[in-house]
Copies of this chain bind each other. A is one copy, B any other.
Amino acid sequence: MSIKGQVQGVQQMIEDEKYCVDILIQLSAARAALGKVSAIILKRHVESCVVGAIESGSEEEMTEKIEELVQVFSRYN
């Protein structure tokens, strides 16, 4: 995950008092990068936990996982 590097880069730009618009563009790039990692983690989550809950046949577990998934989605939209 190179996002740490991106965030470090932004921090350096702020310290060096680089042009604000350039900093803002880098900040939005770091945000987009976090969004991409989120999509990967979400995929992993659905493939393992959500599928597992549905396959378990437990109505309760399934409902809980779906509820959780919608909560996560709501944080991002």
Contact = CB atoms under 8 A, between A and B. Distances in A.
Number of copies: 4
Most buried by B among A3, A21, A34, A44: A34
A45 B19 CA distance: 8
A73 B42 contact: yes
28 contacts: A1-B7, A1-B11, A1-B14, A3-B7, A3-B11, A14-B41, A20-B45, A21-B45, A21-B68, A21-B72, A24-B41, A24-B72, A27-B37, A30-B34, A31-B31, A36-B74, A38-B77, A42-B70, A43-B70, A46-B50, A46-B66, A51-B62, A51-B66, A54-B55, A73-B73, A73-B76, A76-B77, A77-B77
